[in-house]
Amino acid sequence: MKPSSILSICGRISFDGYKVYRIDTNNDIASLESALEALPIVQLARDHGRGEHSALDIAVPPEHRAAIESLNLTMTVLSEDLAGDIAAEGLPGDYPVLDGNGIPAISWFDSYHAYEDHVRYWADLQAAFANNSELIQVGFSFEGRPIQGIHLWGKSGKNSKPAIFFNGNVHAREWITSKVVEYLLYQIITGYPTETAVREVLDGYDFYVLPVVNPDGFVYSQTENRLWRKNRQRRQNTTAIGTDINRNWSVGFGGDGSSSNPGSETFRGYQPGDTPECAALMDFAQALSADKGIKLYIDWHSYAQVILLSYGYTCDAFPPNIDRQIGLAAGTAARIAQPYNTTFDYGPGCLVLYQSSGNGRDYMTDAAGTEFAWGVELRSTSYGFVLPADQILPSSIEVWEGMLYLWANL
């Protein structure tokens, strides 16, 4: 039984009694996946790019723990109590008070928040920076939610510079990503009047920031299933719900590292761009590309702690500027490590993480003329998707440092 079909039977998922295991794949992920196929486990993430063997992290319900343990796999327990971890993430926080400039207090980053509060946060930030920003909407999700964010610009005015384009929370359960992207917005908006580094980057580029590009999945991860990844699209001839938006882009669509099975966590859809979310993002990228061009794209993920460059869809080809990209990624990773010694790996995604076809950064590289199109996987390799709220701010601070390096060296 696949995770998606459990959902349709059980409704709100409780993770009581679940443990999280990290399994050594013996560098044979296919055999491991087929050994696990019959069990209703939840696949979390795999292959952290470190050590000799790749690893697969899975969440296992109590009644199937014995079955997993009988497979004689090499594995460690990452969490004895997944439900406890989720409880420790904390309830959604209160909406912060606004300061004298109308900016929500920094306590926004002390807890996770409900989706409607995120929408309010973007509106409040934008209103506090009204002369240099506007709210944008690039399309609608499957369930009809607007896919929205903020466009910011510097002294030359709106639409006058090449784009820096950020997407967060394409994968619903990666909650840290929208928080970190919002911290970048917060730092830009509060720093622009006085910080030279912020002024230089915003005077040089138009920022387009979409903190939650999978709003349906994000809401579902908050209300029904904390470990939901995909969008919430229903399709004909299957009871399975959800397509992996980050396997649905047209470049490399259909290759290895994506699935044709609607029940899979990496189900790519039937046609490129047949999720409304990906279609909207491709259209928006084309508009930016045709206007002033895209200098930098980052698609924010968790939790492998790695900077992913193109390509994901092939291990045998590289963008023409790959050496420059690796140099920039190395410098960015070094700067990220400065505040808290958090280690980020970097390199072409297919080599440092795993093959993934139909992903956003490859589309941006090959189809939207983007000079640097990256996927950044945030903390944490030890906590996984369920990152304690007291790590939101440290994760944000280290990434801000990395961005200051990257922007100064573009």
Q: Residues with catalytic annotation?
A: 377
Residue 307 near residue 332, CB atoms below 8 Å: yes
Helices (H), 11-160: 29-36, 65-69, 82-88, 115-127
What is the nearest approach in angstroms of Zn ion to the Cβ of residue 246? 6
Question: Total residues at the site for Zn ion (CB under 5 A)?
Answer: 2
Structure tokens at 285: 């990228």
Q: Which residues ranging from 218 to 257 are in contact with Zn ion (CB under 5 A)?
A: none
Of 268 and 301, which has the nearer Cβ to Zn ion?
A: 301
Q: Whose Cβ is closer to Zn ion: residue 44's or residue 185's?
A: 44
Q: Which is nearer to Zn ion, 187 or 225 (CB)?
A: 225
Cα Rg of the chain (Å, integer): 20
From the CB of 299, what's the least distance to Zn ion, in Å?
A: 8
Q: Which is nearer to Zn ion, 170 or 333 (CB)?
A: 170
CB of 174 to Zn ion, least distance (A): 5
- Contact letters for Zn ion, residues 64-103 (x by CB under 5 A): ----------------------------------------
Q: Which is nearer to Zn ion, 126 or 231 (CB)?
A: 231
Only segment of 55-63, 133-141, 271-279, 301-309 that touches Zn ion (CB under 5 A)? 301-309
Binding piece for Zn ion, criterion CB under 5 A, among 11-19, 128-136, 165-173, 345-353: 165-173
Span near Zn ion by CB under 5 A; candidates 17-25, 87-95, 295-303, 393-401: 295-303
DSSP track, 317-362? ---TTHHHHHHHHHHHHHHHHHHH----EEEEHHHHT---SS-HHH
Q: How far is the CB of 206 from Zn ion (least distance, A)?
A: 26
- Select the residue interacting with Zn ion from 22, 145, 161, 171 (CB under 5 A): 171
Q: Which of 230, 301, 335, 361 binds Zn ion (CB under 5 A)?
A: 301
For residue 291, give the DSSP letter: H
Burial 203-241 (b: 16+ CB within 10 A, else e): ebbbbbbbbbbbbbbbbbbbeebbbbbbbbbeeeeeebb
C-alpha dihedral (240, 246, 247, 251), degrees to nearest 10: 150
Select from 90, 170, 168, 171 the least CA-distant residue to 122: 168
Q: Does 46 bind Zn ion (CB under 5 A)?
A: no
Least Cβ distance, residue 333 to Zn ion (angstroms): 18
- Minimum CB distance to Zn ion smaller for 79 or for 266: 266
Going from the C-alpha of 183 to that of each of 92, 205, 313, 370, 406, the distances in angstroms are 17, 18, 30, 24, 16
Contacts of residue 402, Cβ cutoff 8 Å, sequence gap at least 6: 332, 333, 335, 336, 344
Instruction: Please report, as ranges, the residues that interact with Zn ion according to CB under 5 A.
Output: 171, 301
